[in-house]
Structure 1
């Protein structure tokens, strides 16, 4: 019975979750979110880990998969030159377990 419950939970959450797939656009007017990459982790709203495969990406938890085409992405991003132009400040981390939100008030930008 316990294993049935565990399998059921995995299936339910697996079906409802979708990858945080992003695409980097060339122009700001094409973007859903304008992003600035900060130099230090403590300056970021979101710590991002780039995954290698679509199925490794998370659901709005900082695990991003960069798609090859804009129509495959959940969000289109434009990387701005200056911090004050950004909707969201990110910091790229080296390990998957470091990814996540530091400023949850900005979390709605990636839904």
Structure 2
């Protein structure tokens, strides 16, 4: 009887682990895209301008600190060291008139999101690797 209980416990643990993996893999809304800031505008997928106020932004962005949150949510960004690791390469311009997108960096994840319609909505997401 002891072997049957141990076998059952092992199955329960495996089921819990499998469920957690499936949930993490199928819930990209809680995850961030990998972003790399390039030195030249010609290297960028998109040119951004950081605005001073949330009301001026097309997109409010929350910057994630850890790579483990990497996914495909456009308003959650994780900066990476190399362009080859990035889903999107950005270039920060000095003047808003030269930007493709006005971005405001928020302090809280719940404040992140699109504020205005943009032709870039859906284009910042993770590309298949």
Shorter-chain TM-score range? 0.7 to 0.9
Q: Which runs of 5+ in 1 are unaligned?
A: none
Task: Provide the aligned length of Structure 1 versus Structure 2.
Answer: 106
In the TM superposition, structure 1's runs of 4+ consecutive aligned residues that sit over 6 Å from their partners are none
How high is the TM-score relative to the length of structure 2?
0.71
Is the contact between residue 76 and residue 109 of structure 2 (CA under 8 Å) also seen in structure 1? yes
1:17-62 residue CA offsets vs partner (Å, 9 max, x unmatched): 9741000000000000000000110110110111101222452341
1:104 match = 117
Is the contact between residue 23 and residue 68 of structure 1 (CA under 8 Å) also seen in structure 2? yes
Q: Which has the higher contact order (CA 8 A, sep 6+)?
A: 1
Q: How does 1:59-70 map to 2 (within 5 A)?
A: 59-70=72-83
2:96 match = 83
2:8 match = none
- The partner residue of 1:53 within 66, 91, 110 is 66
1:31 match = 44
- Alpha-carbon offset, residue 89 of structure 1: 0.6
